[in-house]
Amino acid sequence: SNEKDLATLVDVANEDLIVAGIRLRFPYHSIIGEEDTGTGDVKPLSTAPGVKTWIIDPIDGTTNFVHGLPLTCVSIGMCDGGIPVLGVVYAPMTHELYVAVKGCGSYRNGVPIRTSTSTSTPTEPSKTLSKAVVCVEFGSITNPLEISQQVEALQRIMVAGIRSIKSFGSGVLDLVYVASGRLDIVYAGIAG
């Protein structure tokens, strides 16, 4: 479709721009890009000491992007010897920049962020499931058995009691929202 073609063109253009910037500054680093690997084998992530690998998702939340929904982002991570050491997420429609550096903390627009449970104290225990905001993502599964398993798992969560369920359509934003305390749990359709 034309919408899918547009998303692919923007994905590829974003990835090309990011790769060019990384190559300019770090010409010997490895790069794994979503568009680069989308039609072939995924390059292995090296665990050799000192080998730096950048991992890029030029548009996370592509369906949101195609439909003009604002919850979409660019995600760039870097591993050193297979260990994540840097993560950057930019959500252009909400003007939010998330940065995390191993050993230096995590930030949204320069302000430190924390998960909602990281604020517990001896008199105020960690959040319970009944007070949790849960985000669910089902993606585009079409197998009836998988759909049934995922819905049943979600039903078990709901019956246990939660505050609220959300679905944003961007796995990366889901995770930074957990890191910043906006969400408590992400359920990404792993049934069982």
pLDDT 10s digits, 61-72: 988 998 899 999
pLDDT at 49 over 60: yes
Over residues 7-11, mean pLDDT: 83
Instruction: Please report, for residues 19, 38, 82, 167, the alpha-carbon distance to residue 189 in angstroms, rounded to integers and kept in the order given.
Output: 31, 21, 26, 12
Q: pLDDT averaged over the chain?
A: 88
* % pLDDT > 90, the chain: 56
pLDDT 10s digits, 107-153: 999 999 998 865 555 666 666 888 889 999 887 788 899 889 888 98
* % pLDDT > 70, the chain: 85
Over residues 156-172, mean pLDDT: 91
pLDDT at 56 over 60: yes
pLDDT at position 192 is: 45
pLDDT at position 6 is: 63
Over residues 158-167, mean pLDDT: 90
pLDDT at position 31 is: 94
